[in-house]
A and B are shown apart, each in its own frame.
Chain A
Amino acid sequence: MHVDDTDRRVLRQLQADPAQSMAELARRAGVTEATASRRLEKLRTRGVLRGQEAVIDWRRLGWAVEVSLRITLDKTNPRAFDEFTAAARNVPEVLEIQSFLGRVDMRLNVIARDMAHYQQIYRERVLTLPHIADIEALMHIADIKRAEALPL
Protein backbone atom coordinates (compact mmCIF):
# COMPACT_ATOMS: atom_id res chain seq x y z
CA MET A 1 0.00 0.00 0.00
CA HIS A 2 1.06 3.61 -0.42
CA VAL A 3 2.08 5.24 2.86
CA ASP A 4 2.08 9.04 2.64
CA ASP A 5 3.67 11.76 4.77
CA THR A 6 0.61 12.12 7.01
CA ASP A 7 0.59 8.36 7.71
CA ARG A 8 4.28 8.55 8.62
CA ARG A 9 3.77 11.55 10.87
CA VAL A 10 0.95 9.82 12.78
CA LEU A 11 2.97 6.59 13.09
CA ARG A 12 6.09 8.47 14.20
CA GLN A 13 4.15 10.14 17.01
CA LEU A 14 2.43 6.90 18.00
CA GLN A 15 5.78 5.10 18.03
CA ALA A 16 7.23 7.71 20.39
CA ASP A 17 4.41 7.07 22.90
CA PRO A 18 2.11 4.14 22.01
CA ALA A 19 -0.12 4.59 25.08
CA GLN A 20 -1.12 8.22 24.44
CA SER A 21 -4.73 9.26 23.77
CA MET A 22 -6.00 9.88 20.24
CA ALA A 23 -6.44 13.59 21.08
CA GLU A 24 -2.81 13.92 22.17
CA LEU A 25 -1.57 11.93 19.17
CA ALA A 26 -3.57 14.11 16.75
CA ARG A 27 -2.24 17.31 18.35
CA ARG A 28 1.38 16.15 18.10
CA ALA A 29 0.99 14.98 14.51
CA GLY A 30 -0.73 18.26 13.58
CA VAL A 31 -3.93 16.64 12.28
CA THR A 32 -7.53 16.41 13.51
CA GLU A 33 -8.55 13.54 15.77
CA ALA A 34 -10.79 12.15 12.99
CA THR A 35 -7.86 12.11 10.55
CA ALA A 36 -5.51 10.46 13.06
CA SER A 37 -7.96 7.68 13.89
CA ARG A 38 -8.91 7.16 10.22
CA ARG A 39 -5.23 6.91 9.22
CA LEU A 40 -4.46 4.42 12.00
CA GLU A 41 -7.49 2.35 11.06
CA LYS A 42 -6.32 2.24 7.43
CA LEU A 43 -2.77 1.26 8.46
CA ARG A 44 -4.23 -1.49 10.67
CA THR A 45 -6.56 -2.98 8.07
CA ARG A 46 -3.76 -2.99 5.47
CA GLY A 47 -1.43 -4.77 7.89
CA VAL A 48 1.18 -2.00 8.19
CA LEU A 49 0.40 -1.49 11.88
CA ARG A 50 0.07 -5.02 13.19
CA GLY A 51 -0.46 -4.21 16.84
CA GLN A 52 1.26 -3.24 20.07
CA GLU A 53 3.20 -5.51 22.41
CA ALA A 54 4.05 -4.88 26.04
CA VAL A 55 7.81 -4.91 26.66
CA ILE A 56 8.71 -7.21 29.54
CA ASP A 57 11.81 -6.36 31.60
CA TRP A 58 13.07 -9.85 32.43
CA ARG A 59 15.75 -8.55 34.82
CA ARG A 60 13.00 -7.15 37.05
CA LEU A 61 11.43 -10.61 37.08
CA GLY A 62 14.66 -12.14 38.37
CA TRP A 63 16.20 -13.24 35.05
CA ALA A 64 19.58 -11.58 35.56
CA VAL A 65 21.57 -13.24 32.78
CA GLU A 66 21.05 -12.59 29.06
CA VAL A 67 23.23 -14.21 26.42
CA SER A 68 23.25 -13.91 22.66
CA LEU A 69 24.26 -17.26 21.15
CA ARG A 70 25.52 -17.10 17.57
CA ILE A 71 25.26 -20.46 15.93
CA THR A 72 26.74 -21.93 12.76
CA LEU A 73 24.77 -24.91 11.48
CA ASP A 74 25.93 -28.02 9.68
CA LYS A 75 24.56 -27.14 6.25
CA THR A 76 25.21 -30.56 4.72
CA ASN A 77 21.73 -31.42 5.97
CA PRO A 78 19.09 -29.49 3.95
CA ARG A 79 16.63 -29.64 6.87
CA ALA A 80 19.13 -28.17 9.35
CA PHE A 81 17.51 -24.69 9.56
CA ASP A 82 13.96 -25.99 10.00
CA GLU A 83 14.81 -28.71 12.50
CA PHE A 84 17.04 -26.42 14.54
CA THR A 85 14.35 -23.70 14.65
CA ALA A 86 11.58 -26.13 15.60
CA ALA A 87 13.69 -27.54 18.46
CA ALA A 88 14.73 -24.07 19.69
CA ARG A 89 11.03 -23.11 20.00
CA ASN A 90 10.70 -25.77 22.69
CA VAL A 91 13.23 -24.09 24.99
CA PRO A 92 11.21 -21.66 27.15
CA GLU A 93 14.26 -19.51 28.02
CA VAL A 94 14.77 -18.62 24.33
CA LEU A 95 13.31 -15.13 23.74
CA GLU A 96 14.30 -14.58 20.12
CA ILE A 97 15.18 -16.81 17.18
CA GLN A 98 16.78 -15.10 14.19
CA SER A 99 18.32 -16.39 10.99
CA PHE A 100 21.05 -14.60 9.07
CA LEU A 101 22.94 -14.30 5.85
CA GLY A 102 26.59 -13.92 6.81
CA ARG A 103 29.19 -15.48 9.00
CA VAL A 104 26.56 -16.65 11.48
CA ASP A 105 23.48 -18.73 10.57
CA MET A 106 21.23 -18.43 13.62
CA ARG A 107 21.07 -16.41 16.74
CA LEU A 108 19.24 -17.29 19.96
CA ASN A 109 18.63 -14.80 22.70
CA VAL A 110 18.60 -16.80 25.94
CA ILE A 111 17.86 -15.66 29.48
CA ALA A 112 18.63 -17.37 32.81
CA ARG A 113 18.19 -16.62 36.50
CA ASP A 114 21.92 -16.68 37.24
CA MET A 115 25.16 -18.10 35.84
CA ALA A 116 24.62 -21.55 37.31
CA HIS A 117 21.16 -21.66 35.76
CA TYR A 118 22.60 -20.46 32.44
CA GLN A 119 25.21 -23.20 32.54
CA GLN A 120 22.43 -25.75 33.05
CA ILE A 121 20.29 -24.41 30.16
CA TYR A 122 23.34 -24.22 27.92
CA ARG A 123 24.38 -27.82 28.56
CA GLU A 124 20.99 -29.48 28.74
CA ARG A 125 18.85 -27.47 26.31
CA VAL A 126 21.14 -25.58 23.89
CA LEU A 127 24.00 -27.97 23.17
CA THR A 128 21.45 -30.73 22.56
CA LEU A 129 19.76 -28.77 19.70
CA PRO A 130 20.21 -30.48 16.31
CA HIS A 131 22.76 -29.65 13.56
CA ILE A 132 25.01 -27.26 15.53
CA ALA A 133 28.50 -26.92 14.01
CA ASP A 134 29.79 -24.04 16.13
CA ILE A 135 28.58 -21.67 18.88
CA GLU A 136 29.84 -18.28 20.05
CA ALA A 137 28.42 -16.49 23.05
CA LEU A 138 28.04 -12.78 23.70
CA MET A 139 27.20 -11.95 27.30
CA HIS A 140 24.83 -9.03 27.53
CA ILE A 141 26.11 -6.28 29.87
CA ALA A 142 23.77 -3.33 29.25
CA ASP A 143 21.16 -1.89 26.91
CA ILE A 144 22.43 1.48 25.69
CA LYS A 145 19.51 2.01 23.30
CA ARG A 146 16.55 -0.31 23.09
CA ALA A 147 13.59 1.62 21.71
CA GLU A 148 13.70 -0.37 18.45
CA ALA A 149 12.03 2.57 16.69
CA LEU A 150 11.96 2.93 12.91
CA PRO A 151 13.33 6.22 11.52
CA LEU A 152 9.96 7.14 9.94
Chain B
Amino acid sequence: MIDLDDTDRAILRALAADATLSAGALGRRLGLSQPATWRRVNRLTEAGALAGRRLVLDQAALGFGVTVFLGVTLATKGRVSLEDFERAVTAIPEVQTVQHVLGLYDYRLRVVARDLSDFERVLRRRIMTLPGVGQVDANVLLSEERRPGPL
Protein backbone atom coordinates (compact mmCIF):
# COMPACT_ATOMS: atom_id res chain seq x y z
CA MET B 1 0.00 0.00 0.00
CA ILE B 2 1.18 3.49 -0.90
CA ASP B 3 0.76 6.66 1.19
CA LEU B 4 -0.66 9.66 -0.62
CA ASP B 5 -0.40 13.36 0.10
CA ASP B 6 -2.77 16.03 -1.25
CA THR B 7 -0.65 16.57 -4.37
CA ASP B 8 -0.73 12.84 -5.20
CA ARG B 9 -4.48 12.87 -4.78
CA ALA B 10 -4.79 15.88 -7.10
CA ILE B 11 -2.64 14.07 -9.69
CA LEU B 12 -4.83 10.94 -9.52
CA ARG B 13 -7.98 13.04 -9.83
CA ALA B 14 -6.62 14.93 -12.86
CA LEU B 15 -5.40 11.79 -14.65
CA ALA B 16 -8.65 9.91 -13.94
CA ALA B 17 -10.40 12.71 -15.82
CA ASP B 18 -7.79 13.00 -18.60
CA ALA B 19 -4.97 10.47 -18.83
CA THR B 20 -3.40 12.21 -21.84
CA LEU B 21 -2.19 15.22 -19.77
CA SER B 22 1.58 15.60 -20.10
CA ALA B 23 3.74 15.98 -16.99
CA GLY B 24 4.26 19.62 -18.03
CA ALA B 25 0.55 20.42 -18.34
CA LEU B 26 -0.28 18.53 -15.14
CA GLY B 27 2.51 20.33 -13.25
CA ARG B 28 1.36 23.77 -14.41
CA ARG B 29 -2.11 23.00 -13.12
CA LEU B 30 -0.78 21.95 -9.69
CA GLY B 31 2.05 24.45 -9.41
CA LEU B 32 4.77 21.81 -9.68
CA SER B 33 7.80 21.62 -11.96
CA GLN B 34 7.64 19.14 -14.83
CA PRO B 35 10.36 16.82 -13.36
CA ALA B 36 8.69 16.84 -9.92
CA THR B 37 5.35 15.93 -11.52
CA TRP B 38 6.97 13.21 -13.60
CA ARG B 39 8.60 11.71 -10.47
CA ARG B 40 5.25 11.58 -8.67
CA VAL B 41 3.40 10.03 -11.63
CA ASN B 42 6.20 7.49 -11.92
CA ARG B 43 5.97 6.60 -8.23
CA LEU B 44 2.17 6.16 -8.47
CA THR B 45 2.61 3.96 -11.56
CA GLU B 46 5.31 1.80 -9.98
CA ALA B 47 3.19 1.31 -6.86
CA GLY B 48 0.37 0.08 -9.11
CA ALA B 49 -2.00 2.87 -8.04
CA LEU B 50 -2.16 4.01 -11.68
CA ALA B 51 -3.08 0.83 -13.52
CA GLY B 52 -3.08 1.88 -17.17
CA ARG B 53 -5.54 3.81 -19.28
CA ARG B 54 -8.97 3.25 -20.71
CA LEU B 55 -10.52 4.85 -23.82
CA VAL B 56 -13.81 6.64 -23.33
CA LEU B 57 -15.84 5.74 -26.42
CA ASP B 58 -19.35 6.48 -27.65
CA GLN B 59 -20.48 2.84 -27.78
CA ALA B 60 -23.69 3.57 -29.67
CA ALA B 61 -21.83 5.44 -32.43
CA LEU B 62 -19.60 2.38 -32.84
CA GLY B 63 -22.63 0.12 -33.24
CA PHE B 64 -22.89 -1.27 -29.71
CA GLY B 65 -26.36 -0.26 -28.59
CA VAL B 66 -26.82 -2.66 -25.67
CA THR B 67 -24.89 -3.38 -22.47
CA VAL B 68 -26.14 -6.20 -20.24
CA PHE B 69 -24.92 -7.34 -16.84
CA LEU B 70 -25.20 -11.06 -16.24
CA GLY B 71 -25.17 -12.83 -12.90
CA VAL B 72 -23.94 -16.37 -13.48
CA THR B 73 -24.26 -19.27 -11.07
CA LEU B 74 -22.17 -22.34 -11.83
CA ALA B 75 -23.97 -25.68 -11.90
CA THR B 76 -20.96 -27.65 -10.72
CA LYS B 77 -18.38 -26.16 -8.39
CA GLY B 78 -14.84 -27.31 -7.93
CA ARG B 79 -11.43 -26.00 -8.78
CA VAL B 80 -11.40 -27.50 -12.26
CA SER B 81 -14.79 -26.15 -13.27
CA LEU B 82 -13.90 -22.63 -12.04
CA GLU B 83 -10.73 -22.61 -14.14
CA ASP B 84 -12.49 -24.00 -17.22
CA PHE B 85 -15.26 -21.47 -16.89
CA GLU B 86 -12.89 -18.54 -16.37
CA ARG B 87 -10.69 -19.48 -19.33
CA ALA B 88 -13.66 -19.85 -21.68
CA VAL B 89 -15.57 -16.75 -20.56
CA THR B 90 -12.47 -14.52 -20.77
CA ALA B 91 -12.03 -15.48 -24.44
CA ILE B 92 -15.47 -14.18 -25.52
CA PRO B 93 -14.89 -10.78 -27.19
CA GLU B 94 -18.33 -9.40 -26.24
CA VAL B 95 -17.62 -10.06 -22.55
CA GLN B 96 -15.94 -6.87 -21.32
CA THR B 97 -15.46 -7.69 -17.66
CA VAL B 98 -15.59 -10.81 -15.51
CA GLN B 99 -15.72 -10.51 -11.74
CA HIS B 100 -15.63 -13.40 -9.31
CA VAL B 101 -18.13 -12.51 -6.59
CA LEU B 102 -19.54 -13.88 -3.37
CA GLY B 103 -23.29 -13.69 -2.82
CA LEU B 104 -26.27 -14.55 -4.96
CA TYR B 105 -24.03 -15.38 -7.98
CA ASP B 106 -20.58 -16.77 -8.63
CA TYR B 107 -19.64 -14.41 -11.48
CA ARG B 108 -20.73 -11.05 -12.72
CA LEU B 109 -20.22 -10.34 -16.45
CA ARG B 110 -20.51 -7.14 -18.45
CA VAL B 111 -21.52 -7.93 -22.03
CA VAL B 112 -21.88 -5.59 -25.04
CA ALA B 113 -23.94 -6.32 -28.13
CA ARG B 114 -25.21 -4.49 -31.22
CA ASP B 115 -28.87 -4.82 -30.18
CA LEU B 116 -31.14 -7.14 -28.22
CA SER B 117 -31.26 -9.82 -30.92
CA ASP B 118 -27.45 -9.76 -31.13
CA PHE B 119 -27.38 -10.08 -27.35
CA GLU B 120 -29.66 -13.11 -27.58
CA ARG B 121 -27.22 -14.69 -30.03
CA VAL B 122 -24.27 -14.07 -27.64
CA LEU B 123 -26.28 -15.42 -24.71
CA ARG B 124 -27.39 -18.61 -26.48
CA ARG B 125 -24.30 -19.45 -28.47
CA ARG B 126 -21.54 -18.22 -26.20
CA ILE B 127 -22.71 -17.85 -22.61
CA MET B 128 -25.16 -20.74 -22.19
CA THR B 129 -22.61 -23.11 -23.76
CA LEU B 130 -19.84 -22.22 -21.28
CA PRO B 131 -18.49 -25.15 -19.25
CA GLY B 132 -20.25 -25.54 -15.92
CA VAL B 133 -22.72 -22.68 -16.43
CA GLY B 134 -25.95 -22.99 -14.42
CA GLN B 135 -28.42 -20.21 -13.91
CA VAL B 136 -28.01 -16.84 -15.67
CA ASP B 137 -29.77 -13.64 -14.64
CA ALA B 138 -29.70 -10.58 -16.95
CA ASN B 139 -30.15 -6.85 -16.34
CA VAL B 140 -30.03 -4.38 -19.24
CA LEU B 141 -28.02 -1.22 -18.51
CA LEU B 142 -29.98 2.01 -18.97
CA SER B 143 -27.51 4.60 -17.68
CA GLU B 144 -24.14 4.67 -16.03
CA GLU B 145 -21.93 7.22 -14.33
CA ARG B 146 -18.45 6.89 -12.93
CA ARG B 147 -17.64 8.89 -9.82
CA PRO B 148 -14.18 10.22 -8.88
CA GLY B 149 -14.10 8.13 -5.70
CA PRO B 150 -12.68 9.01 -2.26
CA LEU B 151 -9.65 11.08 -3.31
Contacts and interface: CB of A to CB of B under 8 A. Distances in A.
B75 interface: no
Interface of B: 1-2, 4, 12, 15-20, 47-59, 61-64, 69, 71, 86, 89-90, 93-105, 107-108, 110, 112, 137-147, 149-150
Nearest to A93: B150
7 A-B pairs with the lowest CB-CB distances in the bound complex, closest first: A102-B139, A151-B93, A54-B15, A144-B98, A138-B103, A18-B53, A57-B51
Interface in A110-152: 111, 136-152
Interface of A: 1, 3, 8, 11, 14-15, 18-19, 46-58, 60-63, 68, 89, 92-104, 107, 111, 136-152
30 contacts: A11-B57, A14-B55, A18-B54, A48-B62, A50-B58, A51-B20, A51-B55, A52-B53, A52-B54, A53-B53, A54-B16, A54-B52, A57-B48, A57-B51, A58-B149, A61-B2, A61-B4, A89-B147, A99-B142, A100-B69, A137-B103, A139-B102, A140-B99, A141-B101, A143-B98, A143-B99, A144-B86, A146-B98, A148-B54, A149-B96
Contacts of B102: 138-141
Given A18-B55, A56-B50, A144-B86, 5 more contacts: A48-B57, A60-B48, A68-B101, A107-B69, A148-B54
